[in-house]
Amino acid sequence: MAYKTYEVAVIGGGVTGSAIAYHLAKAGVKVVLVEKGDICSGASATNPGFCVLTYREDPVVMELALQQRREWDDLSQELGVNLEYECTGGLIPISNQQELEVLAGLVQNCHNWGLKQVEIVKSDRAVEQERALDPTKIIAAVYCPWEGRINPFKLTLSLADRARLLGAHIMTGAEVTGMEVARGNVKTIHTLQGDIKADVIFCAAGAWTRKVLSLAGASLPVEYERGEAMVSIASPPTIRGMVTDGSFFVREKEKPPMVAGACLAQTKSGNIVLAQATTQIKNHDRSSTYAGPIAVAKKVLYYFPKLSDLEILRMWGGIVAYTPDRQPLFGFLPNPKNLFVVVGFHSAIGIAPVLGRIVKDVYLKGKSQYDFTAYSPLRFLQ
């Protein structure tokens, strides 16, 4: 039987897998990107494209996000596509004392981790940033002038497309359905579009990671949650930057089944994206619920009553992976040894291209300039 053979196979054509394929192809590596649906059909197609800085999980990921921020314009040029990156500023409205205390800690972390351009501001300054915000609903806000947003579709699709132009093979409709393991390595990958062989496999399958790993007899505790969002018809300029609800940062003692808050941004074409209601789920169900958009709308109207006539065009759900310690997974598995997992980086849109380059460095040089030891899968396999 004739197999197509590659140096590297990347499983998952979201922003993470597309960025990995792009950097490997650019470096001359013979790579295949294997996607079960279309490129950008998972979580990467469901978000408003916030390029998050203020709520990064640790100093390493903050470094990645700051590096990515420096590179957006160059990346647009390199890909030959306007990625619509805009440094719009980001605001976290704070509605009570408990949120204020938690977010003061977050601002301190940012300062410690190299992001000095973030502060707690009074409501009048917050309204300068977001004119539609009702100042009577907040006691303060976190403001970061360095944050912005990008078009996540253009980003993901153009990374994959440029990878293809550089020689990568892009397989869509090619669900990975099995892996043959021999002598501790994956030898053959079965897909709905035929079998392939690769020396090294990068699994960037997001919320489907656990399922993909199980095909190779491996297991890691990768869970996922559904985030629901909606988008309005094109509207006059109303929301300037990215807005993230302060309530998301306060951990309830008993987590309710659904957590909803007001996260907003307005696209270049005028559509306002409203997110998000988050629910822990087990069945990969990405459908929009009845309760989710209503809960989001209530929170949005609390802070932005002027949006009461906003006409909603459509709503959706997306599923995002996370691990029990909410830290990413990045590294080779002990068995099969040629299977490398890259998953669980939250808000991956704002770091994926840099992450793709790091994967390329690890593949070609065996290391990168960043210390990712804490993200090793081995922490769950002892």
Ligand X SMILES: Cc1cc2nc3c(=O)[nH]c(=O)nc-3n(C[C@H](O)[C@H](O)[C@H](O)COP(=O)(O)OP(=O)(O)OC[C@H]3O[C@@H](n4cnc5c(N)ncnc54)[C@H](O)[C@@H]3O)c2cc1C
| Interacting residues toward ligand X by CB under 6 A | 11-17, 34-37, 41-44, 46-50, 52, 175-176, 204-208, 212, 227, 229, 275-276, 318, 320, 347-350
Instruction: Work out how close the CB of 320 gets to ligand X at its nearest, in angstroms, rounded to a whole number.
Output: 5
Query: Residues 6 or more apart from 68 whose CB is under 8 A from it?
Result: 51, 350, 351, 353, 354
| Neighbour order of strands in the sheet with 140-144 | 119-121, 140-144, 90-94, 242-243, 258-266, 272-280, 223-232, 312-322
Between 52 and 362, CB nearer to ligand X: 52
Instruction: Work out how close the CB of 10 gets to ligand X at its nearest, in angstroms, rounded to a whole number.
Output: 9
Residue 41 has, within 13 A of its CA and on its CB side, a CA count of 13
Between 34 and 126, CB nearer to ligand X: 34
Instruction: Kindly tell me the burial class for residue 145, based on how many C-beta atoms sit within 10 Å of its own C-beta (0-12, 13-18, 19 or more).
Output: middle
Between 49 and 377, CB nearer to ligand X: 49
Tokens representing residue 359 in the block: 């994967």
Between 140 and 243, CB nearer to ligand X: 243
Between 273 and 310, CB nearer to ligand X: 273
Between 34 and 133, CB nearer to ligand X: 34
Q: Taking CB positions, which residue lies at the least distance from ligand X?
A: 14
Between 9 and 100, CB nearer to ligand X: 9
Task: Give 47's DSSP letter.
Answer: S
Instruction: Work out how close the CB of 108 gets to ligand X at its nearest, in angstroms, rounded to a whole number.
Output: 23
Instruction: Work out how close the CB of 150 gets to ligand X at its nearest, in angstroms, rounded to a whole number.
Output: 9
Between 26 and 90, CB nearer to ligand X: 90
Residue linked to tokens 């997974």: 329
Instruction: Work out how close the CB of 122 gets to ligand X at its nearest, in angstroms, rounded to a whole number.
Output: 26
- 185-to-249, 306, 338 alpha-carbon distances in Å: 42, 58, 6
Measured CA to CA, the distance from residue 45 to residue 36 in angstroms comes to 14
Instruction: Work out how close the CB of 239 gets to ligand X at its nearest, in angstroms, rounded to a whole number.
Output: 13
Instruction: Work out how close the CB of 124 gets to ligand X at its nearest, in angstroms, rounded to a whole number.
Output: 27
Per the CB < 8 A criterion, the answer to whether 319 and 207 are in contact is: yes
- 325-to-213, 218, 315, 321, 344 alpha-carbon distances in Å: 19, 19, 30, 12, 10
In SS3 terms, 133-180 reads as CCHHHCCEEEEECCCEECCHHHHHHHHHHHHHHCCCEEECCCCEEEEE
The DSSP-derived string for 371-382 is --GGG-GGGG--
Instruction: Work out how close the CB of 357 gets to ligand X at its nearest, in angstroms, rounded to a whole number.
Output: 15
